[in-house]
Amino acid sequence: MRVVLFFCRIKMRMKMCIGRFLAAAALSLFLGSPHAAGAAEAAPSFWNKVCDKGADGKGACAIEQFALAMPQKTVMAHIRFARTEKPDQMRMTLVAPLGVLLAPGLTLSVDGSPPIGLPFERCSAQGCGVSAVLDKSALTKFFQGKTLVVRYTVSGQAGVDVPIKLDGLAGALQSLPN
C-alpha cells in the first residue's frame, strides 16, 4: 500500500480535505515539474499550524501532519506537536486508525534508528492514540531526521509502516507561540 503525505485541518471535512489533495495533484500534473521549468524549489513544509481556543478561553496552537494511503484516501496516521509548560519540551500525539491491535502499541523510528515502543492510551471515533512528552534530546533527533516511521499492527495483517516526513519540523515548531 502506497502512503502519500498530505495535510489538512482537523475541523475540515474529509471530502474537502481529499478535494484539496486531488486539486493540488491535478494542478501539479497540468503545470508539470518545477525542475523541468528550471524554477527554484522552496523547502517543503509538510506541517500545518492549527490554533484552537481552550475551555479557559486562551488559544493553544499545535502543528500537525496527516499521512494518507492512496488511492483509498485513508488516514493512516495523524501526528501533532504542541508546547508544554516547559520551554525545552513538546507533547507529541499520534493517532492510528481504528482496527489496530492495542496490545503491541506502536513503534517510532527516526531514519532507521532503533524503534521506541509506545502503548496506546485511548481510542475514539478518530482512531487510537499515543502521547509522549519529548525532551530536548529527543526533539533534536526529530529535527535532524528526515523520516519518522510509525509502525503498528492491524487485525489479521502484518505490521504497517507509515512514513512521516520531518522536513520543516524545527521551523514549524518555532512558529508556535510560547
What is the extent of the structural domain holding 144?
A: 2-174
Q: What is the pLDDT of residues 5-16, one digit of tens each?
A: 444 433 444 444
pLDDT score of 56: 77
- Taking the chain, what is the end-to-end CA distance rounded to the nearest angstrom? 39
CATH number at residue 63: 2.60.40.1880
DSSP one-letter code for 77? E
pLDDT score of 52: 86
From CA 6, how far away is CA 78, in angstroms rounded? 10
Q: What is the pLDDT of residues 63-85, one digit of tens each?
A: 999 999 888 888 999 999 999 98
pLDDT score of 70: 86
Number of domains in the chain: 1
pLDDT score of 139: 93
From CA 87, how far away is CA 136, in angstroms rounded? 9
pLDDT score of 44: 52
Determine phi and psi for 20, rounding to 5 degrees: -60, -45
Task: Give the pLDDT of the chain (178 residues) as one tens digit per residue.
Answer: 333 444 443 344 444 444 443 333 322 322 233 333 333 333 457 899 999 887 777 778 999 999 998 888 889 999 999 999 898 899 999 999 999 999 889 999 999 999 999 999 999 999 999 999 999 999 999 999 999 999 999 887 789 999 999 999 999 998 888 7
Q: Can you give the pTM of this predicted structure?
A: 0.72
Query: Among 166, 96, 162, which Cα is nearest to 126's?
Result: 96
pLDDT score of 96: 95
